[in-house]
Structure 1
């Protein structure tokens, strides 16, 4: 789990460990392990509902989907990488593609300078190249994240590295266009907006999920599905 208050080298190594990810008891148990250990599932049983402004945020799903879900993440967070690789595909298949959920990503970049640099570069991708390329770059960033032993090292997601990653999912011309925008801090306002939302909601760790303005505090994938179903029923 990524946690701003208690984040240190030992914690990063533990959170990014693959020991509890690769379980021999099937996909359900593996997903449950990711959710419990990543910080996406909390012990608290209740959370308040918040009004959130989703304007200008990258999203996946039907514009008219009844439920809005946010993942708060850090591109240098090992637990977020696990979430993206193991849990997100299930959310995408069962909630996004079925038209239940409109899924957003917002930055909670706190580990080190790489976190802020990659977050602002991704915001520049969204601003310059649009939603589709943003999500390709988003997933590729997690794919390119170094192993947990290097999670706290700085200058891994350098400007050159980020540009190279973007070239792999777009073109050299588009990558240079984004790099120029990043240099001019064209996406800094969007990055600061995410920081303000994180502060207002009191997000403490990554990944953290919100469903229709309410922090998810369940303990299983079934709890998440139920929260989404209940939120959809409220809209009818």
Structure 2
């Protein structure tokens, strides 16, 4: 799936991250384009989430049971992010785009936001996913998201670490202790030694395969892949999905 390069805006931008013919990071590029009178930062991102093929208007049936989420339990619109903790573009997504989604759509009760693991970049991609699943199982939803956010923040900026095994078990335990507590981290470490919850990661990967996801980050809105290129496009798809539920 070819990715179109965005036009230069005069600032350095992250390169595209191609893994293989069928596995790649999405070519999301984020930058600030202006500040309106109220002081709200307007974020625009360029590049595609995927080719706008014949299936782009079709909604898939998805089982959300047992997946970590943020938002109102009763929200009609369900959004999924497919991501890899070693993906630099995913880090950019979570540091730049996600806060806008959280403020505008999650905290206002408009959407229920899920994270699904797609670990393909390196061996520690899978270890991180397994550890995160263990956190979810042992400590619950809130602790999962605290760990999730901090792990992305601690992803090195230098791209040379992308293919290096840096998210060791010790690193993950220490990160969890920072996000929660030493006691919670010790509990998860013990559980991780008994069961790494790889079966839960495989459940996520089965959904990746079913939906034909081949890049990260990739978003789905009520089972429909997001293929737009701006935050406005995303909000519009959410609004359309909400109307479809009425």
* TM superposition score normalised by structure 2: 0.84
Aligned equivalent of 1:32: 44
Aligned equivalent of 1:72: 82
Relative to structure 1, the CA distance from residue 24 to residue 66 in structure 2 (aligned partners, 3 Å threshold; closer, same or farther) is: closer
Aligned equivalent of 1:121: 131
8 Å Cα contact 2:22/2:214 also seen in 1: no
8 Å Cα contact 1:78/1:151 also seen in 2: no
**2:66 is the alignment partner of 1:56:** yes
Relative to structure 1, the CA distance from residue 114 to residue 207 in structure 2 (aligned partners, 3 Å threshold; closer, same or farther) is: same
Q: Which 5+ residue runs of structure 2 have no aligned equivalent?
A: 1-15, 36-40
| Counterpart Cα distance in 2 of 1:223 and 1:120 | 33
| Counterpart Cα distance in 1 of 2:87 and 2:156 | 10
Aligned equivalent of 1:133: 143
8 Å Cα contact 1:2/1:205 also seen in 2: no
SS at 2:219 equivalent = strand
Aligned equivalent of 2:240: 230
* TM superposition score normalised by structure 1: 0.87
**2:52 is the alignment partner of 1:44:** yes
- Deviation of 1:22 (Å): 5.0
- In proportion to residue count, which structure has more strand? 2
Relative to structure 1, the CA distance from residue 126 to residue 219 in structure 2 (aligned partners, 3 Å threshold; closer, same or farther) is: same
* Structure possessing the higher relative contact order (Cα contacts under 8 Å, 6 or more residues apart): 1
| Counterpart Cα distance in 1 of 2:64 and 2:161 | 29
Aligned equivalent of 1:156: 166
Aligned equivalent of 2:91: 81
Aligned equivalent of 2:197: 187
- Deviation of 1:149 (Å): 2.1
| Counterpart Cα distance in 2 of 1:175 and 1:135 | 14
Q: Please list the CA deviations of residues 145-200 of structure 1 after superposition, one character each: whole Å capped at 9, or x if unmatched.
A: 01242343322000000000000011112111111222222422211100110011
- Cα RMSD, aligned residues only: 2.3
- Deviation of 1:51 (Å): 0.3
Aligned equivalent of 1:101: 111
8 Å Cα contact 1:61/1:97 also seen in 2: yes
Q: Which 5+ residue runs of structure 1 have no aligned equivalent?
A: none
- In proportion to residue count, which structure has more helix? 1
